[in-house]
Amino acid sequence: MTSTPRRRALVLGGAALVLLAAMLLGILVGPAGLTARGVLLDMADALPFVDVDSGLSTRQQAILWNIRMPRVVLGAVVGAMLAIAGAAYQGVFRNPLADPYLLGVSSGAGLGATLAIVVGGAAGFAGVPMAAFAGGLLAVAATYMLGRSVGTGRTEVVIILAGVAVAAFANAIQTFFMQLHDDTLRQVYSWMLGRLSTDGWSDVLTILPYVIVSVAVIALHRRTLDVMSVGDVEASSLGIDPARVRLVLVGVATLGTAAVVSASGLIGFVGIVIPHAVRLVVGPGHRLLLPLSLMVGAAFIVLADIVARTAMSPAELPIGVVTAAIGAPFFLFVLRRSRGVA
Amino acid sequence: MTVTCKSVSAKRGGVEVLHDIDLVVSAGTWVSLVGPNGSGKTTLLHSIAGLVAATGDITVAGVTPRKSGRRAVARAVALMPQRPIVPEGVTVRELIRLGRTAHIPRFGSEKPHDLEIVDRVIARLELEDFAPRSATELSGGELQRVVLARALAQQPDVLLLDEPTSALDIGHQQQVLDLVDSMRCEENLTVIAAMHDLTSAAQYGQRLVLLDRGRIVADGPPAEVLTADRIAQVYGARVEVLDRRDGRAVLPLREREDA
């Protein structure tokens, strides 16, 4: 897996092309009959100093710019964040099964969303993103404090176990409230299974600052994550402070994940499968793993969303169902292939 | 003095495992730490490297491990662990490059100067053929050479070895210890090595420090420290100590009832 600069550039360039192609496909596919030519010309028209007539009607333009595009961009941002956060979590915990959901982001967010729906009724649905965000962050904070208070020995294992306990606790309370208010089950489930909304750019703009900060901080730690892979004792003796790195990265990865989960619901499988698949192909070096996970994760969600929109059209499948249904066989394929090669 | 420990005590899991250790090691020497399992050898090494909280005063090449930042400590002291952790899929060169961590900016990457040092270490330890290979494919002896290379890439003043050869056969043990000793001479490294094999400890160490239940019970040249009586007392072992031209050898004895 020696990564020469040339090979790295090729791999990253290829992934960027795949992502662009996926996004273009996401913009093109749909019921309103937008032609590829019209979409491309209209996008070209939006560039500075370019003036062409796309032939799209005003209504078609509105669909393109205010429905299709924000949804595709939202999907890309969500996928990118979940995948790079998964790579960061796996790196700091040296555990291939670690992802932001494991430390309680998903169960905390689920509890927060459930409470908002149950307590707030119809008005509560507007408060779901905020409640999910707060719930996710609180659950991970609880996990971290619980893990730290137990012992200083094998911190990474203790924290994951604490996460399992916090998640079980949050799930129990969530189930209790869902049973108590079974009229809200449908709403809660639809949020939990994940969905990308189509109401303009507000979701994208709300979560983007968190995602940018989170991705930037994780990317800065690319080499530090390589050092973390030799374990706490050796990493310390090489000159880093594993506990501090873990705190910082868990913090920012959780922040970004809680933000995207608040907008998209619980889209599973991406945080574990994408970094893993990427690692099997290009090796464990984070200099390639992080940007590649980001782009592959983004493309994966955009493509999964196309399936979610079209498979049972005009009805929509929950995107979480699609990511798991595509992700599991895809992952097995990559796993088999890499074994065959090795 | 490169390493100074004054009244150092340390706890592991709430239990005090090092009591009131005084140890001064001068630059360029090899000190072998010996003692039974659980006598505190690893904890003492980890205290010197600042990896465990210890009370008392420790200075290593002008650095105070628990007070100076990890980067400053890592430029002064390198640790060669007993069983190094090898991440899946990492090449030998990538593993050795990690040794430069403390020398490059916190969020930066290796400069040409760092890569030069890595190449030099690889050449010195004759690892060129291994460099592009996956580190998980290496044998125990090869891996210890790679980890030694990583430690040397740190350009430390002090090299700490935690039973570096206990997983190796006798031939590879000699190779690794000879290599460390020649690096000590070339680079004026100070070596503190926790060792199980008393004969090797005496052959390579100019000085032996014998630990028992967290205290230093003997400290001096091998011929003074390694006596049959003392080994019987500390290890509960029956041995014969042989004086040879190349040092003191310790031979375990078995008293057979039928003999």
Whether A10 shows a pLDDT value over 60: the answer reads yes
pLDDT number for residue A203: 86
Higher-scoring residue by pLDDT: B77, A97: B77
* ipTM greater than 0.85: yes
Closest residue in chain A to residue B83, using alpha carbons only: A234
Whether B51 shows a pLDDT value over 50: the answer reads yes
B162-199 residue pLDDT tens: 988 877 888 888 888 998 999 899 989 999 999 999 99
Whether A152 shows a pLDDT value over 70: the answer reads no
Rounded alpha-carbon distances, angstroms, from residue B65 to A242, A279, B12, B59, B62: 16, 36, 17, 7, 9
Cα angle: A175, vertex A179, A183; to 5 degrees:
120
A328: confidence class by pLDDT, cuts 50, 70, 90: confident
Give the class (CATH, top level) of B3-252.
Answer: alpha beta
Closest residue in chain B to residue A94, using alpha carbons only: B87
CB contact under 8 A, A238 and B51: no
List the single residue in A2, A221, A229 with the smallest CB-CB distance to B87. A229
Closest residue in chain B to residue A230, using alpha carbons only: B85
Higher-scoring residue by pLDDT: B206, A55: B206
Whether A147 shows a pLDDT value over 90: the answer reads no
CB contact under 8 A, B70 and A153: no
* Annotated domain spans of chain B: 3-252
Closest residue in chain B to residue A224, using alpha carbons only: B107
Instruction: Over range A140-156, report the average pLDDT.
Output: 76
Whether B258 shows a pLDDT value over 80: the answer reads no
The answer, for A95 touching chain B at a CB cutoff of 8 Å, is no
List the 145-184 stretch of B: residues with Cβ below 8 A of A: 150, 154
Whether B41 shows a pLDDT value over 90: the answer reads yes
Instruction: Over range A285-309, report the average pLDDT.
Output: 95
- Chain B nearest-CA distance from A113, in A, is 37
The answer, for B105 touching chain A at a CB cutoff of 8 Å, is no
Closest residue in chain B to residue A232, using alpha carbons only: B51
All residues of chain A having their beta carbon less than 8 Å from the beta carbon of residue B86 are: 230
pLDDT number for residue A151: 61
Whether A3 shows a pLDDT value over 70: the answer reads no
CB contact under 8 A, B85 and A234: yes
**Mean pLDDT of chain B, nearest integer:** 91
pLDDT number for residue B21: 94
Bridging pattern class, strands B54-60 and B190-194: unpaired
Instruction: Over range A297-308, report the average pLDDT.
Output: 94
A91: confidence class by pLDDT, cuts 50, 70, 90: very high
The answer, for B88 touching chain A at a CB cutoff of 8 Å, is yes
List the 275-304 stretch of A: residues with Cβ below 8 A of B: 279, 283-285, 287
* SS3 (DSSP) at B209: strand
Higher-scoring residue by pLDDT: A125, A261: A261
Report the percentage of chain B scoring pLDDT > 90. Answer: 67
B1: confidence class by pLDDT, cuts 50, 70, 90: low
B78-96 residue pLDDT tens: 999 888 999 888 999 999 9
Closest residue in chain A to residue B147, using alpha carbons only: A234
All residues of chain B having their beta carbon less than 8 Å from the beta carbon of residue A285 are: 90, 94
Runs of H (alpha helix) within chain B: 41-48, 70-76, 92-97, 112-124, 140-153, 170-187, 198-204, 222-225, 228-235
Structure tokens at B50: 């600042």
Worst-scoring range by mean pLDDT, A183-197, B24-38, B104-118, B127-141? Answer: A183-197
A1: confidence class by pLDDT, cuts 50, 70, 90: very low
Cβ neighbours of B137 (radius 10 Å): 12
CB contact under 8 A, A279 and B85: no
CA B70 distance to own-chain centroid? 19
The answer, for B91 touching chain A at a CB cutoff of 8 Å, is yes
All residues of chain A having their beta carbon less than 8 Å from the beta carbon of residue B108 are: 223
Instruction: Over range A117-135, report the average pLDDT.
Output: 77
Higher-scoring residue by pLDDT: A33, B173: B173
Closest residue in chain A to residue B158, using alpha carbons only: A237
pLDDT number for residue B206: 93
Q: What does the alpha-carbon distance between residue B221 and residue B226 come to, in Å, rounded to a whole number?
A: 9
List the single residue in B102, B106, B134 with the smallest CB-CB distance to A238. B102
- Superfamily of A18-341 according to CATH: ABC transporter involved in vitamin B12 uptake, BtuC (1.10.3470.10)
pLDDT number for residue B34: 96
pLDDT number for residue A342: 37
CB contact under 8 A, B91 and A2: yes
Instruction: Over range A240-269, report the average pLDDT.
Output: 89
DSSP label at residue A246: H
Which residues neighbour A165 within 8 Å (Cβ) at sequence distance 6 or greater? Answer: A143, A146
Cα dihedral B61→B62→B68→B71 (10° resolution): -40
List the single residue in A153, A224, A238 with the smallest CB-CB distance to B13. A153
Whether A254 shows a pLDDT value over 50: the answer reads yes
The answer, for B74 touching chain A at a CB cutoff of 8 Å, is yes
pLDDT number for residue B108: 87
The answer, for B90 touching chain A at a CB cutoff of 8 Å, is yes
Structure tokens at A51: 């003036």
pLDDT number for residue A173: 92
pLDDT number for residue A198: 66
Which of A220, A237, A282, A287 to mutate against chain B (most B CBs within 10 Å)?
A237
Q: What does the alpha-carbon distance between residue A185 and residue A114 come to, in Å, rounded to a whole number?
A: 9
CB contact under 8 A, A233 and B70: no
All residues of chain B having their beta carbon less than 8 Å from the beta carbon of residue A230 are: 84-87, 95, 98
pLDDT number for residue A341: 43
CB contact under 8 A, B77 and A237: yes
pLDDT number for residue A7: 86
Whether A298 shows a pLDDT value over 90: the answer reads yes
Whether A336 shows a pLDDT value over 90: the answer reads no
- Chain A nearest-CA distance from B99, in A, is 6
Q: What does the alpha-carbon distance between residue B177 and residue B173 come to, in Å, rounded to a whole number?
A: 6
